[in-house]
Structure 1
């Protein structure tokens, strides 16, 4: 971390289901990282995509975090309450001629070349050449440039991506009339003064486009720490989409110790935790003092070999 800059981290789940083990690992890693720097840890509910949200999931996630001993250092931020803020920044980019309107359908996009690394279709600037006038049910894309975006991840190392070549002009405002994940997360991290983002490796290749937006909006650059994904016996990421089981709230201490095992807490420390009847907050405080996340992994993924 930069000297004399107070550390502020965050955990930002989407309310699309109950908290599962993979999310617990991310929450715990981000919490330990923040507290090891004597910093703040914030909770943000990323519910900007109203079509994916499940009613009551936000309260379920909050309850699960509380049951596991987490305590955030400020009020919870809901993205659904911030659409007017995102729209202000969209208007700013529009006035600066850095975005354009797109009315291409998903079927249109599937005619483009697919990037094997990101799994996304490379947009061919079809609507950029049309000069479409604004009406409802249209997306906004940001104009990209052929320059390289490089960043250093505190766990994964250096990474470089040419946004124009590898991603193309990406959507920052969706046709359903709300901000894309990319725009919302960049604005929120800036306005909440987040100094480092700790999250799963599945978002690693999306980081350059977020840095690109930071540059366009004259935001400071955030630091990053992408942790390996928890995967199941079939090699799939544990996720709500893949029907990952919710955390068992009857065994929060066991869940935390299992997460610390995944995060690389050494075996003697794990035995110490299992042998003593610590509550969740005591387990977390022990981990803050005894787990160095910078040494946690040599690989980008680790299979979870126990029953959840």
Structure 2
């Protein structure tokens, strides 16, 4: 694949090998690739495979095959997140040293039980932008001695970012409110210099006991380590930018620009997804579709 290291913007496509690529992935990959060509930038492929339970080698191989079939070229070597846990662990260690994360031992059932015990009906409990119930803070105020005891007992836990403290510290470091540049459109239809609203997510999981990272930490550090200057991705990931910008400021990482694009939807208006087992590129290829057909189907 191409290995041009010339200047200009650096863009990337970063799929997870936990299923077959569908039309939505094709659109996102082609969007980044064509934009890189148009503005004289570089295009990178990254494999986001930190979910060891769901990611499979056959899906990863299919990613390379499908993207090459679409006519995409990318630089070698391809960054695979599973090979860089030590780097993410250093980022987590920095957040721990700043006293901005804490271990949470609560299971999903315990979290749900705590919400029910609050007297607020589960359906009325506030949710984050992804639709998940906001964490009710079960372990947040637990004495550190007790937290250490639970860790020594070998209990499973997740590292949560104390979002209130993290936002305050990021604003202190930044010398004011944290913002980002949106060159596409937000979910509200605005663009330009936008403020972050990380409090909408509450105390998000930033890493786990067995995996020293999460999507948020890994993607933030990867973009910095790979020199990505323009992040293109679907509007469904727009709110995640709030968390990523906070992490960038806290960890002293460079700030990329962002371009969130529209999503490929079915006739009912539902966005395509792996979980819904929407028709993959492999199936479309088997049905006789060409790469030119795929481009027309996604409007590129």
Fold shared by both chains (TM-score > 0.5):
yes
In the alignment, the residues of structure 1 paired with residue 45 and residue 209 of structure 2 have an alpha-carbon distance, to the nearest angstrom, of 28
Alpha-carbon contact 2:229-2:257 (below 8 Å) kept: yes
Which residue number in structure 2 is paired with residue 139 of structure 1?
A: 158
Which residue number in structure 2 is paired with residue 80 of structure 1?
A: 82
Please report the TM-score for the alignment, with normalisation by the length of structure 1: 0.78
Distance 1:162 1:256, change over 3 A: closer
Which residue number in structure 1 is paired with residue 198 of structure 2?
A: 163
Please report the TM-score for the alignment, with normalisation by the length of structure 2: 0.80
Root-mean-square deviation (CA), in Å? 2.0
Q: How does 1:96-175 map to 2 (within 5 A)?
A: 96-110=98-112, 111-112=114-115, 113-115=125-127, 117-130=129-142, 131=144, 132-133=147-148, 134-135=151-152, 136=154, 137-145=156-164, 149-156=178-185, 157-158=191-192, 159-164=194-199, 166-175=200-209
1:151-195 deviation digits (Å, cap 9, x = unpaired): 33111115444323x211111102443411001000100100000
In the alignment, the residues of structure 2 paired with residue 42 and residue 76 of structure 1 have an alpha-carbon distance, to the nearest angstrom, of 7
In the alignment, the residues of structure 2 paired with residue 120 and residue 160 of structure 1 have an alpha-carbon distance, to the nearest angstrom, of 22
1:212-233 deviation digits (Å, cap 9, x = unpaired): 1111101111211111111112
Answering whether residue 225 of structure 2 is matched by residue 196 of structure 1, we say no
Alignment size in residue pairs = 257
Q: Which ranges of 4 or more aligned residues in structure 1 deviate by more than 6 Å?
A: none
Deviates more, 1:226-235 or 1:173-182: 173-182
Deviates more, 1:121-130 or 1:214-223: 121-130
Q: How does 1:1-308 map to 2 (within 5 A)?
A: 6-110=8-112, 111-112=114-115, 113-115=125-127, 117-130=129-142, 131=144, 132-133=147-148, 134-135=151-152, 136=154, 137-145=156-164, 149-156=178-185, 157-158=191-192, 159-164=194-199, 166-247=200-281, 248-249=284-285, 250=288, 251-259=290-298, 261=299, 263=300
In the alignment, the residues of structure 1 paired with residue 184 and residue 254 of structure 2 have an alpha-carbon distance, to the nearest angstrom, of 21
- The CA deviation at 1:36 is 1.4
Structure 1 regions of 5+ residues with no counterpart?
A: 264-308
- The CA deviation at 1:50 is 1.1
In the alignment, the residues of structure 2 paired with residue 6 and residue 149 of structure 1 have an alpha-carbon distance, to the nearest angstrom, of 25
Name the structure with the higher helix share: 2
